[in-house]
Chains A and B, each alone.
Chain A
């Protein structure tokens, strides 16, 4: 068990809808990362938050947004969903601010857009 909790484990929704994925980092970790995993694109970095502030941005679509709350949990919001958004979404946390070292991944949320 990595100590990173993601909910829900599975999510099935329709095109055009909006969903929220939730992540609780390991105790004490201030950095939260979001990744998207698909068969064709592999693991793609979306966004990183550190102690409530956006730290780095990757290949995140404008339809997607995230935030990190004062209790350090994070949410990834996906809106106007398309079929191509179907993927496994991972949250990871680390104790570090400025590097990608020692990331601990959750078990992911499998999103299916029908």
Chain B
């Protein structure tokens, strides 16, 4: 089945630093999504990407849908303590039917030192 390789697994950075994480896949996806999950909570959508090559920003977050449709990255600029959490990438094939579900990466745990 499809798998997503997300890296790095964890990051421990200083407040104010920029962060970059990425996901790669052996399969083509139609949609790439980036989520943040706080402990004991469900994932919250940060950015959704729908077209190959698309570059989208949401505040200090920027994500891109790779041209090959097999990869995506998420950048966080000028990190702050509240950025702490686990970030998941997710790929979606075709919505509807048995292929409508998301395939998640294993997550990147971000720790920010004040």
A and B, one complex?
no
Chain B interface residues toward A at CB < 8 A: none
